[in-house]
Amino acid sequence: MASIRRGSSRQALDARAELILAILEACEEEGEDVPFASLLEGIARLRPRLAPLTKRLAARYGSLPPRVALAKMARDPTWQKAVQEASSAYLSGPR
């Protein structure tokens, strides 16, 4: 799974937003071809400090397609702010 750098905005993100940004980047590379749980496993391997958060997401959303999981997270008060911050960082980064 390739990782796309999104400039200096990554340093300002908290762990949840950093994880969401990594998910968005992975989805750009892998799309719907990879189950959400598998994306999370790959992120946990590449960024071990995010592993506890990936486990929480996998338990709740792991069986869903990535786009559905992200949509549900955008409505979840626990993840909503992180989704907004990461989405903004993702969209403002280089293409």
- Which residue in this structure is represented by tokens 């990879």? 34
- Give the number of other Cβ atoms within 10 Å of residue 69's Cβ: 24
Under 8 Å between Cβ of 54 and 43: yes
Kindly report the pTM of this predicted structure: 0.82
DSSP 41-91: HHHHHH-GGGHHHHHHHHHHHTTS-HHHHHHHHHH-TTTHHHHHHHHHHHH
- pLDDT category of residue 95 using cuts at 50, 70 and 90: low
pLDDT digits (tens, 9 = 90+) for 21-64: 999 999 887 776 789 999 999 999 999 999 999 999 999 999 99
Which of 24, 30, 28 lies closest to 69, judged by CA?
24
